[in-house]
Structure 1
Amino acid sequence: MSTPAQTDVLVVGAGPAGSAAAAWLARAGVDVVLADAAVFPRDKTCGDGLTPRAIGELQRLGLEDWLRAHTVSKGLRAHGFGQTLHLPWAVPGGSLPGWGSAVARTELDDHLRTTAIKSGALAVDGLRATDVRMAGSRVEAVVFRTGSGPVEIGCRRLVVADGVRSPLGKVLGREWHRDTVYAVAGRSYVDSTRSDDPWISSHLELRDEQGELVSGYGWVFPLGNGSVNLGAGTLATEKRPAEVAIKPLMQTYADTIGAEFGLSGPLRQPTSALLPMGGAVSHVAGDNWALIGDAAACVNPLNGEGIDYGLETGRLVAELIADGGPLGETWRSILVDHYGEAFSIARRLAGIATRPKVVATLGPAGMRSDWLMTLALRWMGNLVTDEDRDRAARVWRWAGRRSIARDHRPPFA
């Protein structure tokens, strides 16, 4: 397909955030081009899990029937410190769907991109964004590298959804601050006799090859196709950097739980990535451009989940653009209003979890309490929305308000 020379809105990055933004913009009647460096379908390092918050956004896009043709999960099975707890997604007082899923990102992202195309967006792939051409303080065009040389696409508005490293965001001045907690995470695929398990599993007591407790967690997400997504993540800060080799840690984890989960064969497609989390970036918008999803560090500091935020921010930025509103400070304020308090308190709690001795002390007590772990799932799983008015939601928002007031660098600042 020939590359268009001009569009009203250019979306760079066709992951969940970019595809959602393009779909909603096209449905609003906006001329939109969705560009990506890869040729689809393509893989993406991810746990592949879809929490109820992500399910709700996919329902908005009209994809529930497609989702239900995949695995459906009832909730989280939490393991650790001699305990196993089953924590359902459906929670009293919650406003989100009571089920989750898991779809490999190769398939999920391709389907979301197709949804954007069917909605009216023009998609081009194999175009790597490398630079911008400015007119004063506004982006006038994005420069792409192709096999046949550089090309430009002019735009009135630009949405940057190019992932955790966000190379285009860096060109525009995005800065990642590592003084708050971030993650180093890896994932793989492995055959399993429990591929149809209706519960996703998380191991909160993760140990390395020497048997030492690691400040992180492991997961097993059934995919319903004879395999599971198996991964591990460790938390770190600038002062307490991660000193764990993720791929060997995943193998140790698989060897430890292999018999229980019916694992067989090698770990396939092992990959790893750094995850900026909790809005730990600054300069997320300009006069006519905005960062969304992973590019804006919209990743849950307590569980590494980012698909739900990607889908949400894609919809929110589309609504702002379709209404003709300004970007710049308006977009940053929207991110702060929606996620600032929750990200702030989540970063503090995750920061505590970077200390293995603290985890070893508090973990057993927490796992002995169904009530406490149910609350933890609600908070860690990003299952509190603006609409929720129950006690768990009120406590979470109360803690968030007090946390952000004490931040030396609040989210998105």
Structure 2
Amino acid sequence: MPAPTRTDVLVVGAGPAGSAAATWAARHGLDVVLADAATFPRDKTCGDGLTPRAIGELDRLGLTDWVRAHTVNQGLRAHGFGQRLELRWPQVEGLPDWGSAVPRTELDDHLRTHALKAGAVGVEDARAVDARVEGGRVRAVTFRGAEGTFEIEAERVVVADGVRSPLGKVLGREWHRDTVYAVAGRSYIDSTMSNDPWISSHLELRGEEGQILSGYGWVFPLGDGSVNLGAGTLATAKRPADIAIKPLMQVYADTIRDDFGLSGELRMGASALLPMGGAVSNVAGPNWALIGDAAACINPLNGEGIDYGLETGRLVADMLLAGDDLQTAWPALLTDHYGEAFSVARRLAGLFSNPKLLTALGPIGMRSDLLMTLALRWMGNLVTDDDRDRAARVWRWAGRRSVGLDSRPPFS
């Protein structure tokens, strides 16, 4: 069928953020077009992990039973500096106490299908290449497809086209690399630990010469005889990453092969550059907004972005229904929800981008169950707005003071 020529809401990008936005907007009774450059199912570079916060958003969408049909994990097994700790997902008001891992090829396809069932109209193989803008308002988006270019006019536009956000760039999005960012890669490999009830993270990541690196490796069981194995390193403009990710993943796999019963070769290796912690400006205009990865809504401490994508998709749909001026309301909402946490998280991650500091502090942290439990909660984005316990109060206190020190706060 030909693509619609106009719609109430045009969502560009059908990953978790875009599909969530399309689902909620369609449920609100709006006409929605969900466009993507790919043909589904398609792959996406990702660790595939679903934290309890992501599970909570999937539950809101009515997908809990579907997720539970996949692997279920109970927490994090942390390795490093001669220690191994098993840390259960904490009990947090309003969130489940379990996680999962679903390959993005399957997850994104299912979320998109869920949006179409809710009433959104899907357009595939359509790459957004330009926008018709009048007075700051996007009147139409130009797409390039197999049969040439075409336009879709829209009252509102949601930009969910990923970390590179080509449409965001057209609209003035700018990524600031003075704060910490990540270079990460993932692969798949067969493993006897595919049904392990723990996700694993190695906080002592070493390179080919045995040198400690500012990053970590992960193994996420998928329950199908394989695991998602990946590695990521932290960098800033002052300390740029100078590491080949795919060879690093091979070194990491060789190091842990026996412990995790790995067999065969790494496959489907892919890497990505991740802007994190709201390190972008120009995230909205009068009738358009960036969400998810496009708005750098990625946790600076662990590279997690699926939960933020699902959340921002729901939140922007609510704002579309309310008819707010997105240019002021959307950055204010992002700042209110994530600003303080992103500020302190990227400040901490920036410190850990220094391998010498990581070498000094890593063993101290790994010897303390309390510190690592707190780290799991903070790194996993497991502090909700309603939490009033000591860990939440400390996190918010640190966030407020961190924002006060920022020369460029998140989303500015």
Match of 1:80 in 2: 80
**Structure-2 residue corresponding to 1:229:** 228
1:194 corresponding residue in structure 2? 193
- Tell me which amino acid in the other structure corresponds to 1:53: R
Does the CA contact (< 8 Å) of 2:137 and 2:287 recur in 1?
Answer: yes
**Residue aligning to 1:324:** 323
TM norm structure 1: 0.99
Q: Structure 2: which amino acid aligns with 1:33?
A: V
Quick one: percent identity of the two aligned structures? 75
Where does residue 181 of structure 1 map in the other structure? Answer: 180
Give the paired residue count. 412
Is 1:63 aligned to residue 63 of structure 2?
Answer: yes
SS in 2 for 1:44: coil
Which amino acid is 2:311 matched to? Answer: E
Counterparts of 1:373-388 in structure 2, within 5 Å, are 373-388=372-387
Please say if 1:152 is aligned against 2:161. Answer: no
SS of the residue aligned with 1:129?
strand
Aligned equivalents of 2:70, 2:35: Cα separation in 1: 27
Instruction: Name the structure 2 match of 1:295.
Output: 294
**Offset, 1:94:** 4.3
**1:135 to partner: Cα distance:** 2.2
Instruction: Provide the secondary structure at the position in 1 that maps to 2:268.
Output: strand
How far residue 95 of structure 1 moved from its aligned partner, in angstroms, is 3.4
Instruction: Give structure 1 stretches of 5+ with no counterpart.
Output: none
Partner amino acid for 1:385? T
Superposed displacement of residue 304, structure 1: 0.0
The 5-angstrom pairing of residues 198-347 of structure 1 reads: 198-347=197-346
Return the alpha-carbon distance in structure 2 between the equivalents of residues 136 and 400 of structure 1: 36
Q: Contact 1:90–1:97 at 8 Å: present in 2 too?
A: no
Alpha-carbon distance in 2 for matches of 1:330, 1:324: 10
How far did 1:339 drift?
0.1
Segments of 4+ in structure 1 off by > 2 A?
none
Task: Output the CA distance in 2 between the equivalents of 1:267 and 1:385.
Answer: 37
Equivalent residue number for residue 114 of structure 2: 115
Q: Counterpart amino acid of 2:76?
A: L
Which residue identity lines up with residue 360 of structure 1 in the other structure? T
Q: 1:163 is matched with which residue?
A: 162
1:95 and 1:62 map into 2 onto residues whose CA distance is: 16
TM-score normalised by structure 2 residue count: 0.99
CA contact (8 A) 1:94 1:383 kept: no
2:356 alignment counterpart: 357
CA distance in 1, matches of 2:125, 2:23: 20
Equivalent residue number for residue 23 of structure 1: 23
SS in 2 for 1:405: helix
The residue that corresponds to 2:6 in the other structure is: 6
2:343 aligned counterpart, secondary structure: helix
**Unmatched tracts of structure 2, length 5 or more:** none
Q: Is the 8 A contact 2:339 2:410 kept in 1?
A: yes
- Alpha-carbon distance in structure 2 between the residues aligned to 1:305 and 1:113: 20
Q: Is the 8 A contact 1:95 1:388 kept in 2?
A: no
- Aligned partners of 2:90 and 2:377 also within 8 Å: no
Aligned-pair CA distance for 1:394: 0.6
C-alpha displacement at 1:134, in angstroms? 1.5
Matched, 1:43 2:39: no
Which amino acid letter does the alignment assign opposite residue 61 of structure 1? L
Aligned AA for 1:204? Answer: L
What per-residue deviation string (whole Å, max 9, x for no partner) do you get for residues 80-130 of structure 1? 000000010133x54321000000000000000001001111111000000
Spell out, residue by residue over 1:258-307, the C-alpha distance to the aligned partner (whole angstroms, 9 max, x if none): 00000000100000000000000000000100000000000000000000
Judged with a 3 Å threshold, the aligned counterparts in structure 2 of structure 1 residues 350 and 337 are, in CA distance, closer, same or farther, namely same
**In structure 1, distance between residues paired with 2:225 and 2:102:** 13
Contact 1:160–1:295 at 8 Å: present in 2 too?
yes
Alpha-carbon deviations, 1:193-217, whole Å to 9, x = none? 1100000000000000000000000
| Conservation of the 8 A alpha-carbon contact between 2:195 and 2:223 | yes
Cα-to-partner distance string for 1:332-354 (whole Å, 9 max, x where unaligned): 00000000000000010000000
Native 8 Å contact 1:75 1:200 kept in 2:
yes
Measure the CA separation in 2 of the matches of 1:365 and 1:129: 48
Q: Distance in 2 between matches of 1:265 and 1:141?
A: 49
CA distance in 2, matches of 1:171, 1:321: 22
The residue type equivalent to 1:344 in the other structure is: S
- Mapped pair 1:404 → 2:395: no
CA–CA distance in structure 1, aligned partners of residues 227 and 319 of structure 2: 38
* Contact map agreement 1:94 1:384 (CA 8 A) in 2: no
Matched to 1:139, the amino acid is: V
| Letter of the structure 2 residue corresponding to residue 51 of structure 1 | T
Q: Deviations over 1:338-372 (max 9, x none)?
A: 00000000010000000001000000011000011
Report deviation, 1:136.
2.2
